[in-house]
Protein backbone atom coordinates (compact mmCIF):
# COMPACT_ATOMS: atom_id res chain seq x y z
CA UNK A 1 0.00 0.00 0.00
CA UNK A 2 0.92 3.65 -0.37
CA UNK A 3 1.20 5.19 3.10
CA UNK A 4 1.64 8.87 3.93
CA UNK A 5 2.94 9.77 7.37
CA UNK A 6 2.26 13.35 8.45
CA UNK A 7 4.96 14.45 10.89
CA UNK A 8 8.65 13.59 11.07
CA UNK A 9 8.96 13.47 14.85
CA UNK A 10 9.86 10.24 16.59
CA UNK A 11 6.34 8.76 16.30
CA UNK A 12 6.21 9.44 12.57
CA UNK A 13 9.72 8.22 11.81
CA UNK A 14 9.24 5.08 13.91
CA UNK A 15 6.01 4.26 12.08
CA UNK A 16 7.53 5.04 8.68
CA UNK A 17 10.55 2.83 9.21
CA UNK A 18 8.49 -0.15 10.39
CA UNK A 19 5.98 0.28 7.56
CA UNK A 20 8.81 0.47 5.03
CA UNK A 21 10.40 -2.65 6.52
CA UNK A 22 7.11 -4.56 6.08
CA UNK A 23 6.85 -3.74 2.37
CA UNK A 24 4.78 -0.55 2.14
CA UNK A 25 5.62 2.49 0.03
CA UNK A 26 5.92 5.30 2.54
CA UNK A 27 6.30 9.07 2.24
CA UNK A 28 6.80 11.27 5.29
CA UNK A 29 5.81 14.93 5.04
CA UNK A 30 6.48 17.61 7.65
CA UNK A 31 6.27 21.40 7.79
CA UNK A 32 9.58 21.73 9.65
CA UNK A 33 12.92 22.31 8.00
CA UNK A 34 14.43 19.19 9.57
CA UNK A 35 13.10 15.98 11.10
CA UNK A 36 12.60 15.59 14.81
CA UNK A 37 9.71 17.70 16.04
CA UNK A 38 10.41 18.36 19.72
CA UNK A 39 13.62 16.36 19.49
CA UNK A 40 15.34 19.62 18.62
CA UNK A 41 18.77 21.14 19.21
CA UNK A 42 19.71 24.82 18.91
CA UNK A 43 23.09 26.06 17.72
CA UNK A 44 24.02 29.08 19.86
CA UNK A 45 26.52 31.87 19.37
CA UNK A 46 30.09 30.86 20.12
CA UNK A 47 29.51 27.20 19.21
CA UNK A 48 27.43 25.99 22.17
CA UNK A 49 24.50 23.62 21.63
CA UNK A 50 21.32 23.21 23.63
CA UNK A 51 18.44 20.74 23.43
CA UNK A 52 15.40 23.02 23.50
CA UNK A 53 12.63 20.42 23.32
CA UNK A 54 12.84 16.87 24.65
CA UNK A 55 15.71 16.55 27.11
CA UNK A 56 16.36 12.83 27.41
CA UNK A 57 14.98 9.37 26.63
CA UNK A 58 13.78 7.22 29.52
CA UNK A 59 13.67 3.49 28.78
CA UNK A 60 11.00 1.40 30.46
CA UNK A 61 9.86 -0.87 27.61
CA UNK A 62 11.61 -3.83 26.03
CA UNK A 63 10.88 -2.51 22.53
CA UNK A 64 12.65 0.80 23.03
CA UNK A 65 15.35 -0.92 25.07
CA UNK A 66 16.33 -3.03 22.06
CA UNK A 67 16.63 -0.01 19.77
CA UNK A 68 18.47 2.02 22.39
CA UNK A 69 20.91 -0.85 22.74
CA UNK A 70 21.65 -0.65 19.02
CA UNK A 71 21.92 3.17 19.13
CA UNK A 72 24.31 2.90 22.09
CA UNK A 73 26.51 0.44 20.22
CA UNK A 74 26.57 2.84 17.27
CA UNK A 75 27.55 5.71 19.56
CA UNK A 76 24.39 7.68 18.78
CA UNK A 77 23.16 7.76 22.40
CA UNK A 78 24.74 7.32 25.80
CA UNK A 79 23.40 6.82 29.29
CA UNK A 80 23.28 10.05 31.28
CA UNK A 81 21.85 9.06 34.65
CA UNK A 82 19.20 6.98 36.42
CA UNK A 83 17.30 9.74 38.16
CA UNK A 84 17.87 13.29 39.28
CA UNK A 85 17.26 13.10 43.03
CA UNK A 86 17.95 9.40 43.54
CA UNK A 87 18.57 6.29 41.42
CA UNK A 88 15.14 5.00 40.38
CA UNK A 89 16.52 2.22 38.20
CA UNK A 90 15.36 3.69 34.89
CA UNK A 91 18.23 4.86 32.68
CA UNK A 92 17.97 8.26 30.99
CA UNK A 93 19.74 8.43 27.66
CA UNK A 94 20.84 11.51 25.76
CA UNK A 95 21.90 11.84 22.15
CA UNK A 96 25.54 12.65 21.57
CA UNK A 97 25.68 16.07 19.94
CA UNK A 98 22.04 16.86 20.68
CA UNK A 99 18.61 15.27 20.49
CA UNK A 100 18.15 16.34 16.84
CA UNK A 101 20.88 13.90 15.80
CA UNK A 102 18.68 10.84 16.47
CA UNK A 103 15.74 11.72 14.18
CA UNK A 104 18.22 12.72 11.46
CA UNK A 105 19.70 9.24 11.74
CA UNK A 106 16.27 7.56 11.72
CA UNK A 107 15.24 9.51 8.60
CA UNK A 108 18.11 8.10 6.53
CA UNK A 109 16.87 5.90 3.71
CA UNK A 110 13.27 7.04 4.10
CA UNK A 111 11.38 9.33 1.70
CA UNK A 112 11.11 12.30 4.07
CA UNK A 113 9.98 15.63 2.64
CA UNK A 114 10.48 18.63 4.89
CA UNK A 115 8.98 22.13 4.55
CA UNK A 116 5.72 20.61 3.29
CA UNK A 117 2.83 22.42 4.99
CA UNK A 118 -0.03 19.93 4.64
CA UNK A 119 -3.38 21.74 4.75
CA UNK A 120 -5.88 18.92 4.21
CA UNK A 121 -6.38 15.15 4.32
CA UNK A 122 -9.57 14.38 2.38
CA UNK A 123 -11.34 11.29 0.99
CA UNK A 124 -10.54 10.58 -2.66
CA UNK A 125 -12.10 7.67 -4.61
CA UNK A 126 -11.82 5.07 -1.89
CA UNK A 127 -8.47 6.36 -0.70
CA UNK A 128 -7.14 9.61 0.78
CA UNK A 129 -5.55 12.72 -0.69
CA UNK A 130 -2.94 14.63 1.31
CA UNK A 131 -2.61 18.15 -0.08
CA UNK A 132 -0.53 21.27 0.52
CA UNK A 133 -0.44 24.77 -1.01
CA UNK A 134 2.53 26.46 -2.62
CA UNK A 135 4.84 28.38 -0.36
CA UNK A 136 8.09 28.20 1.58
CA UNK A 137 9.97 27.77 -1.69
CA UNK A 138 7.97 24.75 -2.82
CA UNK A 139 5.08 24.31 -5.26
CA UNK A 140 1.62 23.08 -4.30
CA UNK A 141 1.20 19.32 -4.36
CA UNK A 142 -0.70 16.26 -3.24
CA UNK A 143 -0.19 12.58 -2.52
CA UNK A 144 -2.66 9.75 -2.84
CA UNK A 145 -2.60 7.35 0.08
CA UNK A 146 -4.31 4.09 0.96
CA UNK A 147 -3.68 4.98 4.61
CA UNK A 148 -2.47 8.08 6.44
CA UNK A 149 -0.71 8.12 9.81
CA UNK A 150 -1.03 11.59 11.35
CA UNK A 151 1.40 12.24 14.21
CA UNK A 152 0.95 16.00 14.56
CA UNK A 153 -0.78 17.31 17.73
CA UNK A 154 -4.43 16.25 17.79
CA UNK A 155 -5.92 19.76 17.25
CA UNK A 156 -3.79 20.07 14.11
CA UNK A 157 -4.89 16.62 12.96
CA UNK A 158 -8.53 17.65 13.44
CA UNK A 159 -7.97 20.74 11.32
CA UNK A 160 -6.41 18.67 8.52
CA UNK A 161 -9.32 16.23 8.49
CA UNK A 162 -11.96 19.01 8.82
CA UNK A 163 -14.89 16.77 9.63
CA UNK A 164 -13.81 13.80 7.52
CA UNK A 165 -13.24 11.82 10.71
CA UNK A 166 -14.38 11.87 14.31
CA UNK A 167 -11.30 13.25 16.10
CA UNK A 168 -11.28 13.32 19.92
CA UNK A 169 -10.85 16.57 21.79
CA UNK A 170 -7.33 16.65 23.24
CA UNK A 171 -5.90 19.77 24.87
CA UNK A 172 -2.27 20.58 25.61
CA UNK A 173 -0.17 22.65 27.95
CA UNK A 174 2.33 25.00 26.33
CA UNK A 175 5.94 25.58 27.36
CA UNK A 176 8.44 28.35 26.78
CA UNK A 177 11.96 26.99 26.42
CA UNK A 178 14.88 29.29 27.25
CA UNK A 179 18.31 28.27 25.97
CA UNK A 180 21.35 30.17 27.21
CA UNK A 181 25.03 30.00 26.23
CA UNK A 182 27.35 31.04 29.06
CA UNK A 183 31.00 32.11 29.27
CA UNK A 184 31.64 29.83 32.23
CA UNK A 185 30.24 26.89 34.21
CA UNK A 186 26.60 26.85 35.26
CA UNK A 187 25.38 26.06 38.76
CA UNK A 188 23.26 22.94 38.23
CA UNK A 189 23.87 20.05 40.64
CA UNK A 190 24.96 16.62 39.41
CA UNK A 191 24.00 14.90 37.22
CA UNK A 192 23.14 18.18 35.46
CA UNK A 193 19.35 18.14 35.46
CA UNK A 194 16.70 19.35 37.90
CA UNK A 195 12.98 18.63 37.68
CA UNK A 196 11.18 21.34 39.65
CA UNK A 197 7.72 21.01 41.19
CA UNK A 198 6.98 24.15 43.20
CA UNK A 199 9.09 26.73 41.38
CA UNK A 200 7.01 29.73 40.24
CA UNK A 201 8.74 29.94 36.84
CA UNK A 202 10.59 26.76 35.91
CA UNK A 203 9.70 23.09 35.54
CA UNK A 204 13.10 21.94 34.26
CA UNK A 205 16.73 23.08 34.25
CA UNK A 206 19.29 21.13 32.24
CA UNK A 207 23.04 21.55 31.77
CA UNK A 208 23.83 20.63 28.17
CA UNK A 209 27.56 20.26 28.81
CA UNK A 210 26.89 17.82 31.68
CA UNK A 211 24.69 15.82 29.29
CA UNK A 212 27.46 15.60 26.70
CA UNK A 213 25.44 17.62 24.19
CA UNK A 214 27.64 20.73 24.13
CA UNK A 215 31.39 21.20 24.50
CA UNK A 216 30.71 24.72 25.81
CA UNK A 217 28.54 25.79 28.78
CA UNK A 218 24.83 26.08 27.98
CA UNK A 219 21.55 25.66 29.82
CA UNK A 220 18.01 24.76 28.85
CA UNK A 221 15.16 25.89 31.09
CA UNK A 222 11.48 25.07 30.54
CA UNK A 223 8.78 27.24 32.05
CA UNK A 224 5.73 25.98 33.83
CA UNK A 225 2.52 25.76 31.83
CA UNK A 226 1.13 28.70 33.82
CA UNK A 227 4.01 30.99 32.86
CA UNK A 228 3.78 29.91 29.22
CA UNK A 229 0.05 30.68 29.13
CA UNK A 230 0.56 34.06 30.79
CA UNK A 231 3.42 35.17 28.53
CA UNK A 232 2.50 33.40 25.28
CA UNK A 233 1.50 36.51 23.33
CA UNK A 234 3.93 38.92 25.00
CA UNK A 235 6.71 40.69 23.10
CA UNK A 236 9.44 38.18 22.33
CA UNK A 237 12.41 40.34 23.28
CA UNK A 238 10.82 41.29 26.59
CA UNK A 239 9.98 37.67 27.37
CA UNK A 240 13.60 36.69 26.69
CA UNK A 241 14.92 39.41 28.98
CA UNK A 242 12.50 38.48 31.74
CA UNK A 243 13.25 34.78 31.54
CA UNK A 244 17.01 35.36 31.49
CA UNK A 245 16.63 37.42 34.67
CA UNK A 246 14.57 34.65 36.29
CA UNK A 247 17.16 32.04 35.27
CA UNK A 248 20.18 33.98 36.59
CA UNK A 249 20.49 31.99 39.86
CA UNK A 250 21.41 28.93 37.76
CA UNK A 251 24.24 30.71 35.90
CA UNK A 252 26.83 30.29 38.66
CA UNK A 253 28.03 33.85 38.20
CA UNK A 254 28.78 33.30 34.50
CA UNK A 255 27.71 35.84 31.88
CA UNK A 256 25.25 35.24 29.07
CA UNK A 257 26.75 34.87 25.59
CA UNK A 258 23.48 34.14 23.79
CA UNK A 259 19.87 33.59 24.84
CA UNK A 260 16.82 32.49 22.86
CA UNK A 261 13.25 31.48 23.62
CA UNK A 262 11.33 28.81 21.72
CA UNK A 263 7.57 28.46 22.03
CA UNK A 264 6.12 24.94 22.17
CA UNK A 265 2.35 25.39 21.83
CA UNK A 266 1.60 21.67 22.12
CA UNK A 267 4.26 20.67 24.62
CA UNK A 268 2.33 18.24 26.85
CA UNK A 269 -1.11 16.64 26.45
CA UNK A 270 -3.22 17.40 29.52
CA UNK A 271 -4.85 13.97 29.37
CA UNK A 272 -3.28 11.00 27.60
CA UNK A 273 -5.62 8.80 25.57
CA UNK A 274 -5.76 5.13 26.64
CA UNK A 275 -5.03 3.86 23.10
CA UNK A 276 -1.47 3.65 21.75
CA UNK A 277 -2.90 4.87 18.45
CA UNK A 278 -6.41 5.58 17.22
CA UNK A 279 -8.12 4.84 13.91
CA UNK A 280 -10.59 7.70 13.46
CA UNK A 281 -11.75 6.69 9.96
CA UNK A 282 -10.93 3.75 7.66
CA UNK A 283 -7.26 4.25 6.77
CA UNK A 284 -6.70 7.24 9.09
CA UNK A 285 -4.60 6.61 12.19
CA UNK A 286 -3.63 9.16 14.83
CA UNK A 287 -0.41 8.63 16.77
CA UNK A 288 1.94 10.61 18.97
CA UNK A 289 2.50 11.46 22.60
CA UNK A 290 -1.19 12.15 23.21
CA UNK A 291 -1.65 8.38 22.79
CA UNK A 292 1.63 6.85 23.87
CA UNK A 293 2.31 9.22 26.75
CA UNK A 294 4.02 12.61 27.09
CA UNK A 295 7.57 11.31 26.79
CA UNK A 296 9.94 10.35 23.99
CA UNK A 297 9.24 6.70 24.76
CA UNK A 298 5.50 7.32 24.50
CA UNK A 299 5.85 8.79 21.01
CA UNK A 300 8.07 5.87 19.97
CA UNK A 301 5.59 3.25 21.24
CA UNK A 302 2.69 5.06 19.58
CA UNK A 303 4.53 5.04 16.25
CA UNK A 304 5.10 1.31 16.60
CA UNK A 305 1.43 0.77 17.39
CA UNK A 306 0.34 2.74 14.31
CA UNK A 307 2.57 0.65 12.06
CA UNK A 308 1.20 -2.55 13.61
CA UNK A 309 -2.37 -1.32 13.10
CA UNK A 310 -1.72 -0.82 9.38
CA UNK A 311 -0.11 -4.27 9.21
CA UNK A 312 2.31 -5.68 6.65
CA UNK A 313 1.88 -5.14 2.94
CA UNK A 314 -0.41 -7.72 1.42
pLDDT in tens, 118-137: 999 999 999 999 999 998 77
Task: State residue 136's pLDDT score.
Answer: 73
What does pLDDT average to over the chain? Answer: 96
Q: What is the mean pLDDT of residues 281-294?
A: 95
| Confidence at residue 293, expressed as pLDDT on a 0 to 100 scale | 87
- Tell whether the model's pLDDT for residue 90 goes beyond 90: no
CATH code of the domain containing 257: 3.90.660.10
| 236 lies in the same domain as 220 | yes
* Residues 165 and 176 both lie in one domain: no
Question: Does 56 reside within a domain?
Answer: no
Q: Are 132 and 220 part of one and the same domain?
A: no
Q: Is 258 found in the same domain as 204?
A: yes
Once rounded to an integer, what is the mean pLDDT over residues 71-90? 93
Are residue 155 and residue 281 in the same domain, yes or no?
yes
Q: Could you tell me if 296 and 10 are in contact, meaning their C-beta atoms sit under 8 angstroms apart?
A: yes
- Same domain (yes/no): 223, 150: no
Task: Say whether pLDDT at 255 is over 90.
Answer: yes
Task: Using the predicted structure, report yes or no on whether residue 85 has a pLDDT greater than 90.
Answer: no
Query: What mean pLDDT do residues 34-56 have?
Result: 96
Q: pLDDT tens digit string along 94-127?
A: 999 999 999 999 999 999 999 999 999 999 999 9
210 — pLDDT class (breaks 50, 70, 90): very high
Residue 301's pLDDT band (cuts 50, 70, 90)? very high
**Taking 80 as the threshold, does the pLDDT of residue 189 lie above it?**
yes
Strand order in the sheet with 256-269: 193-195, 202-207, 218-223, 172-182, 256-269
186 and 257 belong to one structural domain = yes
Mean pLDDT value across residues 242-264:
98
Nearest to 44 by CA among 143, 145, 227, 177: 177
pLDDT of residue 88: 87
Q: Are residues 277 and 158 in the same domain?
A: yes
**What's the structural domain count of the chain?**
2
Residue 86's pLDDT is 87
Mean pLDDT, range 189-218, rounded to an integer: 97
Confidence class for position 314, pLDDT limits 50, 70, 90: confident
CATH number, domain of 137, equals 3.50.50.60
Please report whether residue 59 resides in a domain: no
- CA–CA dist 262, 253 (Å, integer): 24
132, part of any domain:
yes
Residue 246 above 90 pLDDT? yes
Domain contains 39: no
Residue 202 scores a pLDDT above 80: yes
**198 and 163 in a common domain:** no
Model confidence over 174-188: pLDDT tens digits?
999 999 999 999 999
Residues 24 and 136 in one domain: yes
Contacts 24+ apart (CB under 8 A), 158-162: 160/6, 160/118, 160/119, 160/120, 160/121, 161/121, 161/280, 161/281, 161/284, 162/120, 162/122
232: containing domain: 172-269
Are the CB atoms for 228 and 176 separated by under 8 Å? yes
Q: Which of 287, 285, 289, 296 is nearest to 271 (CA)?
A: 289
Q: Are residues 260 and 127 in the same domain?
A: no
Q: What is the pTM of this model?
A: 0.96
Strands 202-207 and 218-223: antiparallel
Amino acid sequence: MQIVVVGSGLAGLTAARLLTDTGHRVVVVDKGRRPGGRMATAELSGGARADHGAQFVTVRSDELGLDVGDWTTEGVVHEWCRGFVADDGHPRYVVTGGMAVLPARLARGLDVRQSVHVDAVVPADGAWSVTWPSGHGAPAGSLRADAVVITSPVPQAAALLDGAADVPDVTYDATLSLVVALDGPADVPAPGGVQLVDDPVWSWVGDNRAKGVSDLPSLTLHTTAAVAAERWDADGDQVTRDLVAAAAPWFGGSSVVDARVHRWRYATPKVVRPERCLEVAPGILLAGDAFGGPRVEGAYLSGRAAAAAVGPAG
